[in-house]
Amino acid sequence: MWKGRFTESTAAVVSDFTQSLDLDWELAPWDIAGSVAHAKMLERIGILTSAEAGKIEEGLARIRAEIAESTLVPTRELEDVHMNIESRLIELLGPVGAKLHTGRSRNDQVATTMRLFLRDRLLNIAEGMERLLAELLRNAAKHKDTIVAGYTHLQQAQPVSMGHYWMAHFAAFSRDVSRLFFALDSLNECPLGAGALAGSTLPLDRSYTSSLLGFTGPTRNSLDTVAQRDYMVDYHSFAALFTVHCSRLAEDFVIYSSREFGWLLLPDAFCTGSSMMPQKKNPDVMELIRGKTGQIIGHLLDLLITLKALPMTYDRDLQEDKRGLRASLNTVDQILAVLPPLLAAVDVDGKHAVEGLEDGFALATDVAEYLVLKGVPFRDAHAMTGRLVKECIARSKGLFDLSREEWDELLPEAGDDLFPMLALEKAVERRKTYGGTSPTEVVRQIEHGEALLSAQRARRAEFVRTVKL
Ligand code: ARG
């Protein structure tokens, strides 16, 4: 393509080293969509006749089919997807094909292709996130009255509703959806017309190209356009935090499904066995989700490190942006394929889940707060209840095992009105503070979550409608 300036042909090792076909050949459909819009714009401004633009569109459609059927095989001498397609077009159309690249550089072209590709992939991910959120809502409604141990420091803390637990993960994942849409918004401007870096002497109608491709408008600064990959960083940031959230969920499942906890029931279909130990049922899916998270974080760092200290504007380093992006997208797709059906099949053994709470110590805060309502300053109430627990431990008894005489001896302030409160159901039910674990609060959270989810569905549908090519 640049032979005019050169006296030697490119060394074979250089072609091998600089080619990006292993990374970008799969981007052909999006590259072609960008080229079709560019040709239509060139026709509109009178650079192409409508006959020429029509031929180019037909040629590109044919190339799209040839690629789909694998009859067009790219060559590394033509470096990348862009030049392979253009060269095939020239082969098919002659001089008319040679007009397509007018007013365009691979720098604004690749930026457009990447944004179109990423937009489609992110809209798919948004759909997967909806499935995930829907399963969490379903589980939350099913388990709103199921009581389980709540932990801090992985030590028993207070009883909570399992519905509340599911909604905690819902809260994290719905923030991830906001970040996903932030990435979608940030990619949704059209680079075409930025040229190599400075724009064009030709009267390119950038707004027209942009509207043909379903972008909200052309990018505002041509130097920045070919230099920046912020929208990819935004995707990677979403993916990193999303998989961190998945990883924490996975870790909980590994712990709660272990024999020692044993109240989270993982379905056989989502577990694997041991090649040696016949009794084993392992939570490998959860471990792999946890294990893959590091790579996703790595892809974010990879791109940030590539961008750091790159001179304004385009530099060939940017070609490497595709490697991590593709790997990350594929992993996120895999996680979103397995996690929603796993959540649909998971169950809770409600009886087993409270066995560890038999001693009643998880209700010590309730006792202290009871004293507060009797006028005891909280710090004193805390110390008095702490002493009560210490004495129970010394006598090998739980709070629930104390006789009335022992209460009178150890905590004379305890009146008859305390005892009805000392039950796990009551402890959960009474935590009615906004966002708390009471089933009535959980129901409110679920209702809010349902509204959030339908707003997300509507937002995706609207996005899909406006970007349809
Ligand atoms: N394959 C290149 C990339 O992915 C396309 C742009 C190359 N531009 C250039 N001037 N060498 O970034």
What are the Cα distances from residue 226, in Å, to 13, 95, 182, 200, 204? Answer: 27, 28, 20, 14, 17
318 Cα nearest atom in ligand 1: 12
* CA 312 from centroid of its chain's CA atoms: 30
19 lines ligand 1 (CB under 6 A): no
The pLDDT-based confidence of 467 (bands split at 50, 70, 90) is confident
Query: Ligand 1 centroid to 82 CA: how many Å?
Result: 9
Q: Which of 70, 153, 275, 396 does the annotation list as catalytic?
A: 153
The shares of helix, strand and coil residues in the chain, as percent rounded to the nearest 5, are 70, 5, 25
Tell the residue nearest (CA) to atom 2 of ligand 1. Answer: 319
Q: What is the pLDDT of residue 1?
A: 73
If one residue of 110, 310, 323 were mutated to test the ligand 1 pocket, choosing by the most ligand atoms within 8 A of its CB, it would be: 110
Chain-wide mean pLDDT for the chain? Answer: 97
196 Cα nearest atom in ligand 1: 10
Residue 374 φ then ψ, to 5° = -90, 5
Arithmetic mean of pLDDT, 391-408: 96
110 lines ligand 1 (CB under 6 A): yes
Query: Ligand 1 centroid to 373 CA: how many Å?
Result: 70
If one residue of 2, 30, 106 were mutated to test the ligand 1 pocket, choosing by the most ligand atoms within 8 A of its CB, it would be: 106
325 lines ligand 1 (CB under 6 A): no
Render pLDDT for 41-99 as a digit per residue (tens, 0 to 9): 999 999 999 999 999 999 999 999 999 999 999 999 999 999 999 999 999 999 999 99
Vertex 145 angle, CA 141 and 149, to 5°: 110
Residue showing tokens 């002659």: 94
Q: What is the pLDDT of residue 2?
A: 75
Residue 318 confidence (pLDDT) above 70: yes
Residues in Cβ contact with 347 at an 8 Å cutoff, skipping those fewer than 6 apart: 264, 265, 267
Render pLDDT for 182-194 as a digit per residue (tens, 0 to 9): 999 999 999 999 9
Query: Ligand 1 centroid to 215 CA: how many Å?
Result: 22
The pLDDT-based confidence of 4 (bands split at 50, 70, 90) is confident
Q: Which of 9, 258, 274, 454 does the annotation list as catalytic?
A: 274
Arithmetic mean of pLDDT, 239-265: 97
Q: What is the pLDDT of residue 469?
A: 63
316 lines ligand 1 (CB under 6 A): yes
Residue 113 φ then ψ, to 5° = -55, -45
Residues in Cβ contact with 220 at an 8 Å cutoff, skipping those fewer than 6 apart: 189
Vertex 128 angle, CA 30 and 448, to 5°: 130
How many angstroms separate the CA atoms of 191 and 395, rounded? 74
Active site residue 274: yes
Query: Ligand 1 centroid to 108 CA: how many Å?
Result: 9
How many angstroms separate the CA atoms of 385 and 361, rounded? 10
20 lines ligand 1 (CB under 6 A): yes
Tell the residue nearest (CA) to atom 5 of ligand 1. Answer: 106
Alpha helices in 143-229 (DSSP H): 162-187, 206-212, 222-227
If one residue of 18, 316, 325 were mutated to test the ligand 1 pocket, choosing by the most ligand atoms within 8 A of its CB, it would be: 316
Query: Ligand 1 centroid to 171 CA: how many Å?
Result: 40
Q: What is the pLDDT of residue 113?
A: 98
Tokens found for residue 449: 């979550």
Domains of the chain: 12-102 (1.10.275.10), 107-353+445-467 (1.20.200.10), 361-421 (1.10.40.30)
How many angstroms separate the CA atoms of 248 and 246, rounded? 5
pTM for the full model?
A: 0.96
Q: What is the pLDDT of residue 468?
A: 72
Tell the residue nearest (CA) to atom 7 of ligand 1. Answer: 106
Query: Ligand 1 centroid to 316 CA: how many Å?
Result: 6
The pLDDT-based confidence of 3 (bands split at 50, 70, 90) is confident
80 lines ligand 1 (CB under 6 A): yes
Q: For a pLDDT cut of 90, what percent of the chain falls above it?
A: 97
Query: Ligand 1 centroid to 343 CA: how many Å?
Result: 43
Residues in Cβ contact with 253 at an 8 Å cutoff, skipping those fewer than 6 apart: 264, 266, 283, 286, 346
How many angstroms separate the CA atoms of 282 and 292, rounded? 17
Arithmetic mean of pLDDT, 326-339: 98
